Amino acid sequence: MTRRKSVLIVHHFGGIGGGTTSAIDIARMFKALSYDVVLGIHEPSSDVRRLIHTAGINYTDNIPRIIEFNYHNATRGQVKAFVKYISSYRYQKAWRRYLETNNVDILVLNSVIQSPLAEVAQKMGIKCMCFVRETICGSPNSVANIVLRRFLEKNTAVVFLTEYDKKNWCLPNNLKTFVLPDIVDINRFELINVLDDNKPLIKNNSTLHILYLGGFSYSKGITDILRAIQIATEKNVDVELFILGDHFDRFLTLKWPMSFLHRRDIRCIEESDRIISDVNKNKQVIYKIGPVSNPYEWYKIADVVVFPVKEVHQARPVYEAGYLSIPVILPRYPNFNEAMKENVNGLYYNPNDYVDLCNRIIEMRNESLRKRLGLKNRCMTNANHTFSVGLHILESILNEIILS
């Protein structure tokens, strides 16, 4: 009997987030294609362990420290990325032992920051796929991006979420590159009221309910959405905002020099708390929900989803909202064009312009507009982001890789 090919999917973050969700979805697709798949993830939280268990995926947290070049994230810095890479480089030998001992046939990296591991796989003759979930930041010719491209070139194949990303990473033509959009796990919508103790509030149908996912992160745009809501309430617009994600309280207790390194985050949290206190002084309008293991139940009470990122980012909330026919509001970045069309399945506003964001929110008070945009958003989700669509694309990619 032929041995089923062994797949190890490496993910660098043990908490709830879009990348973690994507890693689990990829593992589900490999399993559906009859691969022996294991998700390697450091220190998964109890919520993540439950999600992995529910998905029926095998996982291990007993993997070596991940060799990473951590540039494309919310706290990126070229010097910091090089220091982190140099400090983790010594784990190459541990990874060679691990991959050999566990007979890994295909190594899957769930982020561009893990791309240095491709060099280890290449030297061992192991096929390696990197799922690049990051839109390139800054100049393609910056030192950090040149280094990342060198790492990516060591892969058997590189998979992007959008055609925009595939084009703008500027990889050589002889490298196999593909596009596999993120998928929406419809089954997770059926887990509502099972995983979370933090249940949604009673919905008031006369109020415009806005959902924001991203916590108190500067790069995710928390201050912009709060300022927009502040202006809306000053204009007596009946809105409520639900904030999902971490408050990052730990940053507020940092001592020098860490407090200096996180000064932007600290200022963002302090400013956000002041705005929330001011807006809520007469009536609660803004609700700090915190991290939740299943955000889909919060989508169900939303009239509109706002994703006010400060710079280019992936668009997972667009098609998650689409499954429930909810429209979205996004900043006008070019990488969003494949996920959202202006006045078709959502509205754009000028990036980093919270006044313009407020105006788009006020436009969304029109129920017929929301219904029209929401129905189109569902059509786009069904066409591009279902499990069956993703499975078909992944199968085609694997057929080409394995035969190469």
Give dist(CA 140, CA 163) in Å, integer.
16
CA-based nearest residue to 181, from 394, 374, 344:
394
Output 201 or 158, whichever has higher pLDDT.
158
For residue range 1-18, list pLDDT tens digits in order.
567 899 999 998 888 888
φ/ψ region of 221 (left if φ > 0, alpha if ψ in -120 to 50, else beta) reads left
Output 197 or 174, whichever has higher pLDDT.
174
Residue 117: pLDDT band with limits 50, 70, 90: very high
242, 373: one domain: yes
Q: How far is CA 243 from the centre of its chain?
A: 16
348, 398: one domain: no
Residue 137: pLDDT band with limits 50, 70, 90: confident
φ/ψ of residue 138, rounded to 5: 70, -160
Here the tokens at position 111 are 């982020």
Give dist(CA 227, CA 353) in Å, integer.
10
Here the tokens at position 138 are 């800054």
The position carrying tokens 């995983």 is: 195
User: Edge-to-edge, what's the strand order for the sheet holding 328-331?
Assistant: 286-290, 239-244, 208-213, 304-306, 328-331, 346-349
Whether the pLDDT of residue 77 is over 80: the answer is no
161, 99: one domain: yes
Here the tokens at position 132 are 């690049």
153, 207: one domain: no
Domain assignment present for residue 323? The answer is: yes
Output 106 or 137, whichever has higher pLDDT.
106
226, 135: one domain: no
User: Angle, nearest 10°, between helix axes 143-152 and 78-88?
Assistant: 40
Here the tokens at position 8 are 């190890």
- Give the mean model confidence (pLDDT) for residues 338-345: 93
Q: Are 304 and 208 in contact (CB under 8 A)?
A: yes
205, 134: one domain: no
pLDDT of residue 59: 95
| Residue type at position 159 | V
Q: CATH number of the domain that 354 lies in?
A: 3.40.50.2000
Domain assignment present for residue 318? The answer is: yes
391, 377: one domain: no
H-helix or E-strand spanning residue 19:
helix 18-32
H-helix or E-strand spanning residue 55:
helix 46-55
234, 118: one domain: no
- Give the mean model confidence (pLDDT) for residues 57-75: 80
The DSSP secondary-structure symbol of 342 reads: B
Give dist(CA 124, CA 8) in Å, integer.
15
Mean of the per-residue pLDDT values of the chain: 88
pLDDT of residue 176: 96
For residue range 278-319, list pLDDT tens digits in order.
999 999 999 999 888 778 788 888 999 999 999 888 888 898
Q: Domains in the chain: how many in total? A: 2
CA-based nearest residue to 54, from 34, 11, 24:
24
